[in-house]
Structure 1
Amino acid sequence: MTEHTDPAYSAYARRPSPAAAAPDPTAVALGNATLLGIGYLLLRRWRAAAVAVLGSVMLLTAVARSAETWAEVLLLLWWAGGIAHGRHLARRWPEHAVRSGQRAATLAGALAVLLAAVLLRVDAHGIENRVATARQAGDCEAAAAAQGEVGRGHRLAGAPVVKPGDAVVRACRRLDGAASALARAARTGSTKELGRGFGTLAAVLDEPGNEQTVGTVLDGFLEALPTDDSCDTAALTAWLRERTRGHDVLDRSASTAARTEPAALMGCGDRLMTRDAWHEAREQYRRLLAEYPADSRAGRARGGVRKATVAIELDQVRELVKAASDASSGYCDKPAKYSAAPPFRKGSARALFLGDAEYTDRLPGSWRTTDPAKAALVVCADEAENGSAVQTCSYENKKSRYLPHRVTFYKARIPLKVYELRTGKRLSARSVQIGGTSCPAVLHYKYYMYDLGPGNQFVSPSKSDIRKAFDSVLGR
């Protein structure tokens, strides 16, 4: 054989023949069906292959991120267009070839992609069915666990399928926050936390399909009622009773409030009474009577109102008595009733004396009391003034016998304000005059630089004189 050494001939001999380079249109189409631009690689169109891969990545990313049907439609059109375009380019060649190996490889690749997509989409439907079932059962934990099985492949092959599950998980997370707020409300009695929790429940309930999960969280809170603290329970149930009805699942809180509030109000009132919080306790009893007048505890509540009212009255009287520095201040100026005070009975009534105590302090102990709770009367005594004249006597000044003094002795007149403590009403505007001895042999008095004499004097009363003067006041 003769060896050819011509360079041009040698180059021609190494170029493949047209038959050897002819593409297989079916293999090219199947290669592009993988979305990896393999068909373009078979045609040796490297730029087209790169564009095909880049376009597939962008569309798959759009599908995963948007989870919208339009993105899947675009991806499907891109897939179908790649298949058709590759086959069209291959058929433009002057010659075609059947390449079994290429067909088998590209068919396997295309089937693998399609099978993976189908299996992932079917699995995505299964996951979402479990999510939907758990949500219908009100089980957020199971729904979140099922949605947690969603992987990257599921989002590429079935993003619109798994998208509703993402919304369920988001709603469940919000419900977790609501459950935490409601738990804090049950633990602390905070109506602010209660309002925050119900606000979240209402917002989640506005999204369709969340009735059962919202109901589960609500039931968990309602089962915690009544709480260990009756006053906390009363505050929470009052909020629930007063909330505006939405004609939805949240309205079942009203029945729980109606069932638990009466006992809570009664218990809270009793508890506040032990703490001497009379006003707050009375408010609890009054709420029970106003909202649940037919409740079996209504009688006890009325008794609680009376007891709290009496305690409030006594506190007020004590404050006024404490503020009475004379006969024109404190209780003497603004009398108040104490409806549990002993009734005024002649011969046995005890009085609380206020004002000037020069004479009243000498009354028998059985007539007087310093405890407003034991008094039937409140007697405000003003400073003594001259009453009836009793006797006038002449006295000699030891320093100068030539300057005698005539001294008139008067009964001590005590202006009085007498109040019946039981009603706080003034019984009479009167005064008493206290008699006693007059014209002692020696009259002692304080004198100053310019001594003008002792002046007029009060008689010197004995205890019996004072007692006799106040007999008519106390009905003794």
Structure 2
Amino acid sequence: MTGPREPDPLAVAVGNASLLGAGYLLLGRRALFWAAAVVTASLLWLTYATAETWCEVLVVLWWAAVVAHGRWLARRHPAAAPRRGQRVLALAVPVLAAAGWVRYDAYGIEDRVTDARADGSCRAAVDAQEKAGFRHRLVAAPVAARGDTVVEACERLDAAAGYLSGGLTGDLDMLEAAFERLGAVLGEPGNERTVEATLDRYLGRLPTDDGCRNVRIADWLRDRRTGPKDLTGPASATAARIAPGALAECGDALMTDEEWADARDVYQRLLDEHPGDGRADDAREGIRKAGLALELIQVRNLLDEADGMDSGYCRNPAKYSAAPAYRKGRSGAVFVGHTGYTDKLPEEWRSDTPDAALVVCADETQAGDVVETCQYRDHKGRIGSVRFNKLAVRVKAYALRTGKLVTDRTVQIGGESCPATLAYFGSLPSRMAVTPSDADVRDAFGPVVGR
């Protein structure tokens, strides 16, 4: 019969080095085995949950303590001596090797994540960190946690990229939110390249296909003065790159939509802010066309409001610079004011607003020179005298091209007087107007319009 095997101190030490408490089992100290197992499990869970380096330090100290304690207990045994069989029974070496390999692999994953972040590739960093499993988080929790921090920063950058995409629609509030998020991530060490890559992808999508939207975005990027230089610098450079084209395209779009005043202002901005741009001549032409359109609108509104000599165009004449120059005998006119007689003028004397050279304002008719005095018998048989007067009309003519007064005169319209029969109401009038024919009206107004 053989006695119980004496413990091998080296086997006990190696068994406890596995943190499995195998050395205590070799000593037959089951209570210590279970106690050590509880402490080991608690420390490993704490390390997994907190991923702090100080937890790993505690694990190392605990590891050294149980190794030393197991060896000390084994050496106290009176018959302690090496036993190859006990070393084989102590399965610590594979466990230690596996733990070392897992830690080595965790550092390799961390290196790949770090390299991907240095290259500005969040996608590669996230793909690399996905290789970190439970074993890495248990054996090398702080290392795995550092990779998780990179992934979390990339997720925040993804959210910022979504806001940047919203900014492409012209939503400046979303653009502001995006830059705030980029600034927050940039404030954390190591994220410079990933933030730069995220911003570059957005800025590279500019300009959009809407010129006026691009103007708003460029203005916002240019005027952003606060925040890290790594953000404001690229933003300002992009604003300078897209602004001239954006202003030109916006002006063209506003011209198409007949937003003449806004178009003129945008073209003027292009000239003021980018005087050397190759689109400057086109902008000047746009300003000219927009100005003419605004002049024409103003003239038409004033003509519509002119129902007398003291209203509308007749009160506040305006120019239309594209109107034709006055040419005697060939220029058309627009007649406004009291048009009872000017409506009888020939059609060839008239022109629509853009093609007219003159605007002729006619006042109310007054009694003009006496033409003839005739006697009539009234309904009671009494004889009375009636004077017949020409029709006097004050006329002002303005050159439409300049808005300046060229004629201010009173024309007198002649006509038929002393008819054989006189129609009247009440008593016999002492004065009556002649009855003009179209020819009489034409003869009166002809000198005004050069006919």
Q: Is the 8 A contact 1:211 1:249 kept in 2?
A: no
Distance 1:433 1:159 in 2: 108
Deviations 1:452-476 (A, max 9, x none): 5557432212233323332343244
Among 116, 126, 147, the alignment partner of 1:144 is: 126
The equivalent of 1:201 in structure 2 is: 182
The equivalent of 2:358 in structure 1 is: 377
1:219 corresponds to 2:203: no
The equivalent of 2:432 in structure 1 is: 457
Among 167, 177, 191, the alignment partner of 1:210 is: 191
Q: What is the DSSP-based 3-state SS (H/G/I as helix, E as strand, rest coil) of the residue aligned with 1:382?
A: strand
The equivalent of 2:418 in structure 1 is: 439
Superposition deviation, residue 31 in structure 1: 4.1
- Of 165-174 and 229-238, more deviation after overlay is shown by 229-238
Q: What is the DSSP-based 3-state SS (H/G/I as helix, E as strand, rest coil) of the residue aligned with 2:324?
A: coil
Among 410, 421, 424, the alignment partner of 2:389 is: 410
Q: Is the 8 A contact 2:51 2:142 kept in 1?
A: yes
Distance 1:290 1:375 in 2: 35
Distance 2:265 2:129 in 1: 51
Aligned length: 449
Distance 1:214 1:132 in 2: 14
The equivalent of 1:9 in structure 2 is: none
The 3 A distance-change label for structure 1 pair 102 and 390 is farther
Q: What is the DSSP-based 3-state SS (H/G/I as helix, E as strand, rest coil) of the residue aligned with 2:349?
A: coil
The equivalent of 2:443 in structure 1 is: 468
Q: Which amino acid aligns with 2:201?
A: G
Q: Is the 8 A contact 2:407 2:448 kept in 1?
A: no
- Of 41-50 and 259-268, more deviation after overlay is shown by 41-50
The equivalent of 1:13 in structure 2 is: none
Superposition deviation, residue 289 in structure 1: 0.8
Distance 1:146 1:189 in 2: 36
1:81 corresponds to 2:65: yes
1:177 corresponds to 2:159: yes
Structure 2, gaps ≥5 residues long: none
1:244 corresponds to 2:225: yes
The 3 A distance-change label for structure 1 pair 69 and 462 is same
Superposition deviation, residue 278 in structure 1: 1.9
Q: Which amino acid aligns with 1:68?
A: E
The 3 A distance-change label for structure 1 pair 388 and 88 is farther
Superposition deviation, residue 29 in structure 1: 4.5
Q: Is the 8 A contact 1:218 1:250 kept in 2?
A: no
Deviations 1:77-135 (A, max 9, x none): 233333445556667778767665444333x22x3333222211211111111112112
The 3 A distance-change label for structure 1 pair 253 and 442 is same
Distance 1:124 1:438 in 2: 119
Superposition deviation, residue 146 in structure 1: 0.7
Deviations 1:275-327 (A, max 9, x none): 32322322332122112101222122111111111112112222332344444
Q: What is the DSSP-based 3-state SS (H/G/I as helix, E as strand, rest coil) of the residue aligned with 1:366?
A: helix
The equivalent of 1:330 in structure 2 is: 312
The equivalent of 1:126 in structure 2 is: 108
Q: How does 1:53-68 map to 2 (within 5 A)?
A: 53-68=37-52
Q: What is the DSSP-based 3-state SS (H/G/I as helix, E as strand, rest coil) of the residue aligned with 1:130?
A: helix
1:296 corresponds to 2:278: yes
The equivalent of 1:52 in structure 2 is: 36
Superposition deviation, residue 145 in structure 1: 0.7
Q: Is the 8 A contact 1:32 1:38 kept in 2?
A: yes
Superposition deviation, residue 192 in structure 1: 4.4
Q: Is the 8 A contact 1:131 1:142 kept in 2?
A: yes
Among 58, 71, 87, the alignment partner of 2:55 is: 71
Superposition deviation, residue 150 in structure 1: 0.8
The equivalent of 1:11 in structure 2 is: none
The 3 A distance-change label for structure 1 pair 453 and 155 is farther
Q: Which amino acid aligns with 2:38?
A: L
Superposition deviation, residue 38 in structure 1: 4.2
Q: Is the 8 A contact 1:191 1:236 kept in 2?
A: yes
Superposition deviation, residue 359 in structure 1: 0.7
Q: How does 1:6-25 map to 2 (within 5 A)?
A: 20=4
Q: Which amino acid aligns with 1:382?
A: D
The 3 A distance-change label for structure 1 pair 452 and 57 is farther
Q: Which amino acid aligns with 1:418?
A: A
Q: Which amino acid aligns with 1:176?
A: D
Superposition deviation, residue 140 in structure 1: 1.7
Q: What is the DSSP-based 3-state SS (H/G/I as helix, E as strand, rest coil) of the residue aligned with 1:409?
A: strand
Superposition deviation, residue 358 in structure 1: 0.5
The 3 A distance-change label for structure 1 pair 126 and 441 is same
- Of 209-218 and 323-332, more deviation after overlay is shown by 323-332
The equivalent of 2:402 in structure 1 is: 423
Distance 1:332 1:28 in 2: 116
Q: Is the 8 A contact 2:224 2:232 kept in 1?
A: no
Q: Is the 8 A contact 2:11 2:23 kept in 1?
A: yes
The 3 A distance-change label for structure 1 pair 417 and 77 is farther
Q: Is the 8 A contact 1:215 1:250 kept in 2?
A: no
Distance 2:431 2:37 in 1: 127
Q: Is the 8 A contact 2:319 2:403 kept in 1?
A: yes
Q: Which amino acid aligns with 1:295?
A: D
Q: Is the 8 A contact 1:352 1:378 kept in 2?
A: yes
Q: How does 1:283-362 map to 2 (within 5 A)?
A: 283-362=265-344
Structure 1, gaps ≥5 residues long: 1-16
Distance 1:58 1:473 in 2: 110
Q: Which amino acid aligns with 1:215?
A: E
Q: Is the 8 A contact 1:386 1:411 kept in 2?
A: yes
- Of 354-363 and 462-471, more deviation after overlay is shown by 462-471
Q: What is the DSSP-based 3-state SS (H/G/I as helix, E as strand, rest coil) of the residue aligned with 2:367?
A: strand
Q: Is the 8 A contact 2:225 2:232 kept in 1?
A: no
- Of 197-206 and 64-73, more deviation after overlay is shown by 197-206
Deviations 1:251-279 (A, max 9, x none): 23444443443233323323432332322
Distance 2:50 2:318 in 1: 76
TM-score w.r.t. the length of structure 2 is 0.85
